[in-house]
């Protein structure tokens, strides 16, 4: 018999497993977990027992799906047959379709996923903890490690100890509405928000490829423009019975949607990164339209009010654009802006892409800028650009199909990069 009938429920629409927190799942399983009132108990006691059972089932399912990576309900042999049948009729374990993956010389690994409506998004795995170290030697070692990573064929070889951090950079939207002038994703405009399962699904899928240790929402899209889905996805990513990421290792990066920063802090405990990129309102508004709505004062106030746990910092990302925001006066203003905020400044020399109006500053200028910040008691790192040979670096991600307003030039180039 159809268990929906047996449990007195109408068959519901197919639900994606990765869109549910453990609590959501337990609520969904509650009607199936009631087995009538025993003579020795009250209605209330029977309900408590059913809820306990539903919660236990939800926990077991999280372990099966996220930790044992099983996708076939029938293999979950410690669950009742009825429940397994109900699951197979009502819940789908989402697997994004891999359109292609490419690996850069430095080991950075880019994935293009095709969503069910044919739209595409990208995620990138960035291996090694070397991103913030300095010097030629580090870059060389990175490239050697990268080659080794590229050559690895079996899961057994993917040893997270050797790799230190394996950071997954994931997308939160198809395209982006924020239209920052220097960003390739911004060029295409917003196509749509990603749903919860499409966000969690990227990590779930990447975990099959590599033992991801960190997550950054720095792929395509503005995560706080899609706050409901991103905050729920973060809750799922942090679940101890599921993918079990630590709150310190999940970072949401935003261009500065002030009310959403506050709301994020209320909903979920994750790390925050702010794309600062400008040091006066005039300068910042010229490259980031969002600044016209919420200016630097409002943004820095939101950062001061963000509920940071002990020993945690906000990361300020600063894309360095030659001749635009790379002077020592800018560095001095960063020092002033960040006063009193536990923070670190991550300098990102601009990654050039076809059609871009900006240039990358000389390395010597970047070092000088960094030195100024260090000399003024700021933690300041320079992000070594990763994956540039496959257009996987910061701000170089975009979908290649179904673009909203990408230019032909961009489209052709991206399509070429995808072959
Ligand atoms: N929308 C979010 C997260 C995605 S962008 C945000 O803006 O924070 C991730 C980071 O890449 C941001 O700090 C952004 O400023 C930076 N970025 C965008 N385009 C870039 C480029 N061409 N070169 C270097 N960094 C870039
Ligand atoms: Fe969107 Fe971030 Fe790119 Fe700005 S930098 S357009 S917010 S993805």
Query: Does the active-site annotation cover 198?
Result: no
18-37 residue pLDDT tens: 999 999 999 999 999 998 88
Run of H or E including 348:
strand 343-349
Residue from 221, 326, 348 to probe ligand 1 pocket by mutation (most atoms less than 8 Å from CB): 348
- Residue 116, SS3 per DSSP: coil
Q: Looking at ligand 2, which residue's alpha carbon is closest to its atom 8?
A: 221
Residue from 186, 320, 397 to probe ligand 2 pocket by mutation (most atoms less than 8 Å from CB): 186
Q: Which pTM was predicted?
A: 0.87
Ligand 2 in contact with 122 (CB < 6 A)? no
Q: How far is the CA of 44 from the centre of ligand 2 (A)?
A: 51
Integer Cα distance of 304 and 339 in angstroms: 10
Q: How far is the CA of 396 from the centre of ligand 1 (A)?
A: 9
Confidence (pLDDT) at 135: 43
Q: How far is the CA of 14 from the centre of ligand 2 (A)?
A: 33
Ligand 2 in contact with 254 (CB < 6 A)? no
- Residue 102, SS3 per DSSP: strand
Query: Does the active-site annotation cover 241?
Result: no
Ligand nearest to the CA of 287: 2
- Residue 380, SS3 per DSSP: strand
Confidence (pLDDT) at 415: 34
Confidence (pLDDT) at 8: 41
348-397 residue pLDDT tens: 999 888 788 999 999 999 999 999 999 999 999 987 766 655 555 555 55
Q: Which residues of the chain have pLDDT under 50?
A: 1-11, 129-135, 147-162, 400-419
Q: How far is the CA of 419 from the centre of ligand 1 (A)?
A: 24
Confidence (pLDDT) at 210: 86
Integer Cα distance of 343 and 290 in angstroms: 22
What is the 8-class DSSP label of residue 388?
Answer: G
Confidence (pLDDT) at 209: 86
Pocket, ligand 1, Cβ cutoff 6 A: 182-183, 218, 222, 253-255, 275, 277, 317, 319, 348, 350-351, 353, 394-395
What is the 8-class DSSP label of residue 243?
Answer: T
Confidence (pLDDT) at 156: 40
Atom of ligand 1 at shortest distance to CA of 254? 8
Confidence (pLDDT) at 406: 36
68-110 residue pLDDT tens: 999 999 999 999 999 999 999 999 999 999 998 888 777 788 8
């Amino acid at each position: 018999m159809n268990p929906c009938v047996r449990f007195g429920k109408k068959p519901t629409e197919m639900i994606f497993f990765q869109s549910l927190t453990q609590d959501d799942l337990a609520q969904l399983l509650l009607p199936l977990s009631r087995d009538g009132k025993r003579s020795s108990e009250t209605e209330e006691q029977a309900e408590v027992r059913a809820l306990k059972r539903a919660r236990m089932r939800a926990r077991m399912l999280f372990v099966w799906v996220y930790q044992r990576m099983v996708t076939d309900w029938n293999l979950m042999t410690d669950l009742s047959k009825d429940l397994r049948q109900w699951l197979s009729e009502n819940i789908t374990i989402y697997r994004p379709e891999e359109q292609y993956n490419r690996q850069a010389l430095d080991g950075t690994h880019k994935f293009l996923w095709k969503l069910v409506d044919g739209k595409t998004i990208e995620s990138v795995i960035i291996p090694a903890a070397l991103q913030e170290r300095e010097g030629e030697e580090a870059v060389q070692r990175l490239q050697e490690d990268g080659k080794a990573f590229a050559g690895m064929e079996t899961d057994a070889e993917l040893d997270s100890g050797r790799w230190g951090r394996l950071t997954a950079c994931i997308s939160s939207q198809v395209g982006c509405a924020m239209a920052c002038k220097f960003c390739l994703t911004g060029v295409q405009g917003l196509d749509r928000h990603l749903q919860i399962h499409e966000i969690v699904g990227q990590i779930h899928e990447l975990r099959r490829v590599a033992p991801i240790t960190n997550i950054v929402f720095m792929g395509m899209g503005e995560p706080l423009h899609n706050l409901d889905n991103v905050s729920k996805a973060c809750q799922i990513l942090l679940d101890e019975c599921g993918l079990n990421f630590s709150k310190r290792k999940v970072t949401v990066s935003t261009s500065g949607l002030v009310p959403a920063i506050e709301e994020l802090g209320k909903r979920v405990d994750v790390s925050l990164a702010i794309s600062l990129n400008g040091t006066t309102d005039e300068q910042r508004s010229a490259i980031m339209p969002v600044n016209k709505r919420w200016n630097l004062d409002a943004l820095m106030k939101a950062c001061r009010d963000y509920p940071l746990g002990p020993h945690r910092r906000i990361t300020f990302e600063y894309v360095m654009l030659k001749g635009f925001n790379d002077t020592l006066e800018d560095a001095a203003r960063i020092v002033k802006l960040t006063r009193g905020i536990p923070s670190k400044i991550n300098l990102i020399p601009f990654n050039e892409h076809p059609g871009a109006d900006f240039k990358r500053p000389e390395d010597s200028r970047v070092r000088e800028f960094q030195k100024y910040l260090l000399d003024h008691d700021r933690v300041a790192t320079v992000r070594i650009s990763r994956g540039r040979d496959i257009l996987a670096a910061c701000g170089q991600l975009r979908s290649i199909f179904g673009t909203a307003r990408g230019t032909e030039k961009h489209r052709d180039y991206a399509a070429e990069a995808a072959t």
